[in-house]
Amino acid sequence: METKKINDRFSFVNSYGRTGDGFYHKSGLSDNGNVIQTAKCNYQNRTWEAYPYQTVNKKCVRLVIAKTKDENELIALNELLTKLGD
């Protein structure tokens, strides 16, 4: 398990494991220490990510954006997504 602090507010807790025919990446997005979203991505061979857990981190943020109505929260989440390379 690996924790990646993004800023004073957001961080990711990332992990990986084996599946029957490949592996997975799991990520939990924390807002001030409280997990607000989790995501999982399965892979058969390898990833083509710019950095480890990139895809699953972005998936977490996009899932939160999809259910967020507050404009200030959307701004903060979109800034986070941009910082992740989107």
Backbone dihedral angles phi then psi of residue 52, each to the nearest 5 degrees? -55, 135
Separation between Cα atoms, residue 67 and residue 44, nearest integer Å: 30
CATH number at residue 17: 3.30.160
- In this prediction, residue 86 has a pLDDT band, given cuts at 50, 70 and 90, of low
Counting the structural domains of the chain, the total is 1
d(CA 23, CA 62): 22
Question: Considering the entire predicted model, what is its pTM?
Answer: 0.90
- 21-25 mean pLDDT: 95
**Range(s) of the domain holding residue 28:** 2-83
pLDDT digits (tens, 9 = 90+) for 56-75: 999 999 999 999 999 999 99
How much is the pLDDT for 16? Answer: 96
